[in-house]
Amino acid sequence: MNVTRILVLVIALCFTFTLAAFAAETQATDYSKAEHWLSQPGVADKEVDVFYLYPTAWQKVAANEPNVCEIDNPSMLKGAKMAFSVQATAFETAGNIYAPYYRQDDAAYALSLSSEDLDKLVGGIPKTDAIAAFDYYIKNFNNGRPFILAGHSQGSNVMVYLLSEYMKEHPEVYARMIAAYVIGYSVTGEYLAKNPHLKFAEGPNDTGVIISYNTEAPNVVANPMVLPGAIAINPITWTREETLATAAQNLGSIVISTEREILSNNAKDFADARVDKARGVVICSTVDVQKFAPGNPVFGRGVFHSFDIPFYYYNLRENAENRTKVFLNQQ
């Protein structure tokens, strides 16, 4: 065998191994396995379902770790359960909650990328898993029921693909969507223009709509989750106007420490809310920044990212119940 043939064989083998590795990486998680679900109700006793995607629940502890974790990563499994307890439960009175585990990217790495490279990263393995999980849920669990989508942070980042791709390809499924709570990530005017089948909420009662906001203290200038052209809705009044909703109008907050310890299950007069259209965010001026958002390597001082849902927990609950009633009455 001459040298040229040997080189050709080596290159072919390398290419084959690369393709095999790529196929294994991009193959969706098997959602027929119960262990790949964070929440899967034994009995679906409500008329409506909730499909929830948790935020970043894992981070690399060593530089040589992969940028996307495995589906059974212990740290992610633990973090996902913790997020579920203070986020997904806001929607438990509206519907049966289904929540898959999905392989997710390391946030610090992801936020260091350009927008184009970030799209490739999140639009790869995380999106593949989330869409596969949703498709499995629709075909095996949903049984034609109306549903709510709910997510936060990376979960919402993945959810924008679910809305733009899956819902466009399956209009009969989209017709059953009560609302999509895409919280802690930006939904922009550009995104909506590219996806005319989607629409953003205008008030507390519309259905088939997207609800989105990011929460900040006053005078924040940088937030990696806020994209140019972001649109926000007030989670107390459910309007997009800049009128202040006072903390007294808030139905109640879950207060958690920066270490994720629950300090109060229903705090009154805690968080106000005002839409800032220029920044495309919700401003909260009543919460102690030093105590709750002093800043870290990913989010700067005053970015209340971890509290997007807890600050307005009972408002989200009431709104999900309300939109559900409106939707069911329209049927």
Task: Please report, in tens digits, the pLDDT of each residue of the chain (331 residues total).
Answer: 454 454 434 344 333 333 333 344 569 999 999 999 999 998 999 999 999 999 999 988 888 889 999 999 999 999 999 999 999 999 999 999 999 999 999 888 888 888 888 889 888 999 999 999 999 999 999 999 999 999 999 999 999 999 999 999 999 999 999 999 999 999 999 999 999 999 999 999 999 999 999 999 999 989 999 999 999 999 999 999 999 999 999 999 999 887 778 888 899 999 999 999 999 999 999 999 999 999 988 899 999 999 999 999 999 999 999 999 999 999 8
Distance, CA of 262 to CA of 54 (rounded, Å): 18
49 inside domain: yes
16 inside domain: no
Q: Is the distance from CB of 295 to CB of 301 less than 8 angstroms? A: yes
Q: What tokens does 179 get? A: 């609302």
Q: Is the distance from CB of 272 to CB of 250 less than 8 angstroms? A: yes
Q: What tokens does 224 get? A: 């990696």
Crossing angle (nearest 10°) for helices 154-161 and 115-122: 80
8 inside domain: no
Q: Is the distance from CB of 193 to CB of 312 less than 8 angstroms? A: no
25 inside domain: no
18 inside domain: no
Domain housing 320: 35-330
Distance, CA of 80 to CA of 323 (rounded, Å): 26
Among 43, 152, 136, 57, smallest CA distance to 97 is for: 43
Distance, CA of 248 to CA of 246 (rounded, Å): 5
How many domains is the chain built from?
Answer: 1
262 inside domain: yes
- Write the DSSP symbol of residue 247: G
Residue-by-residue DSSP string for 255-292: EE-TT--EEEEEESS---BEEETTTTEEE--SS-HHHH
50 inside domain: yes
164 inside domain: yes
The reported pTM is 0.91
Q: What strands, in cross-sheet order, belong to the sheet with 37-39? A: 37-39, 96-100, 49-53, 147-152, 177-183, 209-211
167 CB contacts (<8 Å, ≥6 apart)? 173, 174, 177, 197, 198
Would you give the distance in Å from CA 303 to the centre of its chain? Answer: 17
